[in-house]
Amino acid sequence: MPAPGMAGWNLALRFGLELAALVGLAMGAWEVSSGWVRWVAVILVPLTATVVWGVFNVVGDPSRSGKAAVEVPGRVRLGIEFLVFAGGAGGFNLSGRPIAALVFVFLVLTHYAFSIARIRWILDN
């Protein structure tokens, strides 16, 4: 079955959420580390999330290019998304920005609410 399309606004929201998650991960890494490790963590944590996000995909995913460097089952992909988004929200909260964390979670849930067809498709693949 072909992948369902996604509205342009939802794709733009998703891209913004991806960037915000990386910022949140960096902020959280800053808060839980110190000294020179802090600087390394601020770079490596979001960089690692970016690589995992970009490499492990479901072929044909409408929110992606449709390509996958490493093809994974849909449940694995959704798990990766959950970890990155939850890590971003956690990072905002750890850095003393609970309102930003709540707004971020609300926007993630909004994105997924309008992505039900994609979620169903991903779970079937």
Give the chain's domain count: 1
Asked whether residue 2 is domain-assigned, the answer is no
90 within a domain of the structure (yes/no): yes
User: Do the beta carbons of residue 47 and residue 59 sit within 8 Å?
Assistant: no
- Domain range for 111 is 8-124
Question: Is 105 a member of any domain?
Answer: yes
Q: What is the pTM of this model?
A: 0.90
Residue 63 within any structural domain of the chain: yes
Please report the pLDDT score of residue 1 as a whole number.
63
> Over the stretch 16-67, which tens digit does the pLDDT of each residue have?
999 999 999 999 999 999 999 999 999 999 999 999 999 998 888 766 766 6
Domain-embedded: residue 41 = yes
Residue 1 lies in a domain: no
In a domain? residue 60: yes
